[in-house]
Amino acid sequence: MARAISVVENRQPEARELLAALFPHAGGALVVGVTGPPGAGKSSLVDRMTARLRGSGRTVGIVAVDPTSPFSGGAILGDRIRMQSHATDPGVFIRSMATRGHLGGLAATTGQVLTVLAASGKDVILVETVGVGQDEVEIVGTADVSLVVLVPGLGDEVQALKAGIMEIADVFVVNKADREGAERVVAEIGSMLMMAGEDAQVPAIVQTVATVDEGTEALLSAIEEFRRQAETSGALARKRRAQLRRQLEDAVRQRVMSHLRQRVLSPAEAESMVDRLAARELDPFTAADELVRRLGLA
């Protein structure tokens, strides 16, 4: 499995064939996204959820999307090490994905790694992102169920940061709920939700203390309940279709760009086109028109 994921991550030539072969078998897993600001305790939660899921006989895949230092060759967070308690369990597969070298393609690659994990038969896949940027939101937002983890006592700017990830929450988790201010965070989320539209499923708010395994069972129940409702309402099927549409568009884009590079525009021609752009004699839109014509599409 680790080798298969590496093939996909490194975009090796055999990735396409591998993914096409695995795709028919990749529909069975429940994908749970876990996001939230740094320090919210996401890895501890993932650890606790994994233990409970294993206790009930379910197999688990964990994908941790990590920022990576080009100098250290891979930042390992302390939290990650803790998760290694599951490392010897054959029912758990853990994979860290470095964001380095994936500029712009991180979401696409993560989707493909999920295909590999799901096809391997994992019942539940937990996708944790450390960042709070758009790529991370996109990754987690395309999960079947998205958890947004908050904690009491974060500063104002961090609280503002969470705004961008509010809209993807299916379940809110207030972790470190034994700290002062937990009730206020719950109340704040509640009042925000009151301002939201009435058409959508109202997200549950679950309080946890991951360090002492408090609230883990309630969180898993909330996830299961969301899944059940989303299945009944058709929301889950719509989400999955949107995700497949994106995968298809990605594949088409990749094909077209490689066709352009291999058949239409020689490297020398491409360079001279960029020369003219750099000299501002040509603009990117007029240049794109020319390329689209040469592709025979206009």
Q: Which of 91, 133, 152, 181 binds its own copies (CB under 8 A)?
A: 133
23: left (phi over 0), alpha (psi -120 to 50) or beta: alpha
Q: Which of residues 100-129 bind its own copies (CB under 8 A)?
A: 100, 102-104, 106-107
Neighbours of 283 (CB within 10 A): 11
Q: How many CA atoms lie within 13 A of 230 on its CB side?
A: 23
- Taking CB under 8 A as the rule, which mask of x and - marks residues 197-236 in contact with its own copies? ----------------------------------------
Count, residues near its own copies per rule CB under 8 A: 91
Shortest approach of its own copies to residue 65 CB, angstroms?
9
- Taking CB under 8 A as the rule, which mask of x and - marks residues 143-182 in contact with its own copies? ------------xxxx-xxxxxxxx---------------
CA gap 101, 92 in Å, rounded = 27
Using rule CB under 8 A, residue 268 touches its own copies: no
Q: Which of residues 26-85 bind its own copies (CB under 8 A)?
A: 26-27, 37-39, 67-72, 75, 77-79
Shortest approach of its own copies to residue 55 CB, angstroms?
28
Running DSSP on this structure, what letter comes out for residue 56?
T
DSSP E strands in the chain: the ranges are: 30-35, 60-66, 92-98, 124-129, 145-150, 171-174, 204-207
Hey, which residues does 204 pair with through a beta bridge? 171
- Decide whether 99 or 208 has the Cβ nearer to its own copies: 99
Shortest approach of its own copies to residue 23 CB, angstroms?
4
Tokens 């207030």, residue?
Answer: 174
What residues have CB less than 8 Å from 82, skipping those under 6 apart?
43, 44, 47
- Decide whether 57 or 268 has the Cβ nearer to its own copies: 268
Q: How many residues does the chain have?
A: 298
Shortest approach of its own copies to residue 12 CB, angstroms?
14
Binding segment for its own copies (CB under 8 A), chosen from 2-10, 82-90, 135-143, 206-214, is 135-143
